[in-house]
Amino acid sequence: MPDSEQCTPSAPPLTPATSSTSSTSSAPPEPSVPAPRHPTHSVDRAFLNLERRRPHVRWDAGGVAYLGGPPPSLADLRAYVGFRLGELPLLTSRVMGGRRSRWQPDGDFAVDRQVHEVVADGPAGWDSALHTALNAPFAPGAYWGVWLIHGHEPDAYAVCYRFHHACQDGAAAAVTFRTMLGGGEPSARPVPGRSGLSGAPRRVGAAVGLAARFLAGSLAVRGHRPDAAFTPSGERRLWRGRVPSDTLRRIGAGRGGSAHDVHLAALAGALSVWSARAGVTLPRVTAVLPVDARRADEEQTWGNRCFALPIELSVRTARELPDGSRNPQAPLRRLDHVMATTRKLRGETWRQAIQDLVRFMPDRPTEWYLRRMLSPRVTNVMATSMPLADRGSLGETQVTGTALLPLLVPGHLFAVGLSFFGDWAEVSFVADRALPLGEELPELWEQAVGELAESSTPV
């Protein structure tokens, strides 16, 4: 179906609840001209090439929205998604061309090929239905898919959205969430100011220096072959936890850091306990952090503008004192270790340098760097976070929770995502089903956040 036809459907059976903002009202979007042809980015092309090189690897990410209320029918959900696609032209486009490839409207697009249904066999069938949606292949030629998951309860269901990473990064996917289910809030992503090409020599020097820094970090472990912690089954699982978002922000602010810093420090603490329980030796844990590198005037809805940065997690910090009692300073030491790196990321110089690297780095260096950063020889955990929305709805049903589905790289222990939705910071762990005691990771993370809160409270 041509893109222009997707922009002018009749009003769908599902209309956003009246509590949503005007950007998600029931009025259909105005007719628009066919979507322009957007050039692919070097990161888009890198992910497409990774898929060609390793076709059996899943290069998709996404998220799950949990909703309270009776689920829609599959036909109604397809009509609703088709109605919203007029605001997301990327999702009705595909990559065309060779070296100068572009996103162009897909004349064969059909929403029925993108939106699917998984029905649970009663309350006991919820996990099976959820993981069916998590592992289902895309339709042939599709870059994304939506799965309606229901049948376990009469007044609860979930919507799973997954996309090929060449199609979107996390920031663009968050826009998709807000367009489909949210209230239209901005992403609150930090971006450098509109500096144009001013200070070009200094910016070139900073970008080259930053590239050399992370290049050296990747080469330092060249030839390192980490021991396999388990034999993968090829089937992904999702486990969730949550804490009040104000808890993370309060702990971070007390040390001059951010909620994301607290999340990473808690992740290090959780891994320290998990390693001992699961019998998995962790001589080092290096997380790869996706960083949104869009310019202030750049759209969030087209392709990738992200950069991958490695950060070592202080997993081996002593949890106990010589007398066997708990070391109350261990959680804060982990937090300070994380902040020593992320403080630079929040500075204007580093953020501008990352933006310049993503904007100007050619295809081959981009793909080489991405392969290195995703290699288990360099990193062994994918860790990301994303502010989603203050609220969300589908028809009269309200979003009650969210879970990010970060990219799970072969050889990594797991991927972990932190989503901020409403008053909650929700952590999600995506891992292979064979990961030992993977189901304990969310609770261990929650406990580690509690230890940070206790350690940071003045006596």
pLDDT (tens, 9 = 90+) of the chain, 459 residues, equals: 333 333 333 334 564 333 333 333 333 344 343 445 788 999 999 999 999 999 888 999 999 999 999 999 999 999 999 999 999 999 999 998 777 789 999 989 999 999 999 999 999 999 999 999 999 999 988 999 999 999 999 999 999 999 999 999 998 999 999 999 986 555 455 444 454 545 555 666 666 666 666 666 656 555 555 566 788 999 999 999 999 999 999 999 999 999 999 999 999 999 999 999 999 988 889 999 998 888 877 788 888 998 888 899 988 765 655 555 567 788 999 999 999 988 877 777 778 888 888 888 889 989 998 999 999 989 999 999 999 999 999 999 999 999 999 999 999 999 999 999 999 999 999 999 999 999 999 999 999 999 999 988 764
449: nearest Cα among 433, 425, 432, 430: 425
CA angle 38, 42, 43 (to 5 degrees): 100
Residues 169 and 306: beta-carbon distance below 8 Å: yes
Look up residue 235 and give its amino acid: E
Q: Please, which residues bridge with residue 260 across strands?
A: none
Angle at which helix 330-345 crosses helix 348-360, to 10 degrees, equals 60
| Distance in angstroms (rounded) separating the CA atoms of residues 411 and 409 | 6
Ramachandran bin of 69, using left for φ above 0, alpha for ψ from -120 to 50, beta for the remaining angles: left
CA nearest 242: which of 385, 456, 440, 442? Answer: 442
pLDDT at 225: 56
Q: How far, rounded to the nearest angstrom, does the alpha carbon of residue 30 sit from its chain's CA centroid?
A: 31
Contact 401, 421 (CB under 8 A): yes
Give residue 327's pLDDT.
72
Q: What is the pLDDT of residue 202?
A: 61
